[in-house]
Structure 1
Amino acid sequence: MPRPPRTTGPLFALLALLAAAAPAQADEGKDNPTSPASAAPVAPSAAPPTPQVSPGRRALAAAGTVVPGLLVHGTGHFLLGERRTALRLLALEGAGAGLTIGGLGSAAVFGASRRVIAPIVLTTVTGAGLFGISLLADAYGVLAPEGGTGSPLTTLPSVETQLGVAYVYDPTFAYRTFLVPGMDLRLRSVRLSGSGWFALNDVNTRLRAEAAYRFLGPGAPDSPRAADGSFLELEAAFTHHRYTSDEFSITTGEVSLSGRLDLAHIGPTLRGSFAEMGWGIGVEAYRYGRRPFEGNELLIPHFAFGMYLGHEGYPRGETKFYYEHRHDGYAAGAKMPGLGSGVPGHLGLQTRLYASPRWGLLADVQAGSAYVGRLSLLARPGG
């Protein structure tokens, strides 16, 4: 009988990203005469500017990100003359393709047995993340202005609140509009968060509480200033979703590890962009009416590619395109023809933009088995 696959996807993804980033950091130190060992380290955003590229060559590189760039990631950078970055993106694509094929192949061999489904899903999603990130990074590096679209914040507010409205289109349920309040509290490396979704045209409520510890990266103003926007964070969360009018509820406890890498570490043309990956597992408890609780496991890997908006002053923020594998939210899993319907998670696009030190907006759209749109007013008391 074949042996179940091991959960090597997340570890391999971290090694792939770090391996691609390390040579870039070494190259920056070599090319920059102001960064000897005795000098203060230079942030990736402060690296020397890239040589000027003619409009014709940039147009050719942009076309290369599509053909053959959709299959050979890094083609755009190769045509742009950034061969080192091109090779690193190609390596990330190879790692992602290998993990994806390995995960899907394992699914074909072992099926959806509960004993092996966790490593299969984590490996496949991780591979798809590396593949998608390398593709989008190639296009960003070719099209972004010199110096990138923006720079990361190196400190985060101690208190951030949000109040918004959301619309959910799901033909299975009666709810449509929601009131969505939330708050983040930060003390050095610790974050406590709470949020709620309250339906305005149905009896449906989703409450969520989070506690997170950030090992590295931007934190509260009283924590050490970070070098860039990269971070590594461990989070525990508790969610209770009550479908009162439909007479059932879902309670979830989960733990996850998430990280972000500023892609300036991979190549100078990628300044202003970032990649995120995360892996987690949860336990769900369902209850229908007065029946006893029923348990189920929940796998919650995710990945994202994003870019910072604005270098200094305001407006300033970030936007990211992401994939969430979790199925317990309003967007849930994707519908598609065939046996795979409902297996993948959902896609989303989120933008967080501040118009001043105190006020900002959060816009988020998701597409899965349902469509979700949210717009929230952000406030940082004291600026």
Structure 2
Amino acid sequence: MKIRALTALMLTTTAAQADVPNVVTDIPAVHSLVAQVMGNLGEPKLLMKQGSSPHGYAMRPSEARALQNADMVVWIGEDLTPWLESSIETLAPEAESLELLHAHGTEVLNFRETPIFAKDGDHGDHHDDEHGDEHDDHGHDDDHDDHGEHKDDEHDDHGHDDDHGDDHDDHDDHGHDDDHHDEDGHDDHKEEAGHDDHGHDDHGHDHDGADPHAWLDPHNAAKWVGEIAEHLAELDPENAATYEANAAAAAESLEALEDSLKAQLAPYSGAKFIVFHDAYQYFENATGLKATGALQVSDATPPSAARLAEIQEEIQEHSITCVFSEPQFSDALVQSVTNGQVSATSLDPLGVGLDLGAGLYSELLQNLADSIEGCVS
């Protein structure tokens, strides 16, 4: 009887899993959030090789096939991966597409305009999402007061591409020599992925002011797991209750994470530090921090001499010793700006070296908090 009951349970589980949607995600943080919602029912697939540039990427044949077989694509949005929208339309036109930057309830901020961020209480604006929400009801009245403004001509190519090699073809600086080979060792055929040129010269996209690094705010993540659960439930009604329960548990955990990070970093709310590029304001606003400035607007656009001079003046005037690099890049720029007087400390907004899975998201944010605390304390 026990064997018969166990066999029946296995058949039921197999049947349930067979109906679970194939879900593809863009970056590790999103993969982690989807994994939390799917739980034991299934596992999402990461579309891009971990550590690669989100903005400029040529899919390998195996990744193109994964997208083609997707029932649902969960991604930050065109501002982060300008090539992915056309890829979805070409390879997965019937797939459910959830663009998180425009999901209901998402807090969207504008890029900050100047090398040294808002001073003397100057505040920038939120960037309205496609739902027209002002996001005043997110419980961030105090945490999201200081927002930078955008500068259209500075952000046409926010990408992570130019510093990663020639547009799409070279990711060797990430230590991924096989980025363009599938599991069988074959060369990457961009035409299979529909990316001969992505239709984007220099990615030719306009950020319209929106900073896409919205995943670094755990409050956004807590909103997103609910959205992910709703979309999964539409595709897989039989498991809707499980998705809903998993999302509720994930949201509770994310809210606890936000509270914990705030408490950890509260003593350093007035600390001055310089970041490598302007990618962290969501994390700053969520935790009560305020970066002093950024060496460059994006990690794809080299800073001007005037920008670096302004940063150097700020460092000298305020004796700033905390200047962050990023793991994908040499710390040579940091050392040149600081005259080698600081040891480069790394901040990683993507979770390059972390293990994929449900736990990656919280580990990513905790690592940011620990790195900042270790540098400014």
Point out the structure with the larger strand share: 1
Tell which has more relative contact order, 1 or 2 (C-alpha 8 A, sep 6+): 2
- What band does the TM-score fall into relative to the shorter chain? under 0.3
Point out the structure with the larger helix share: 2
TM-score by length of 2: 0.23
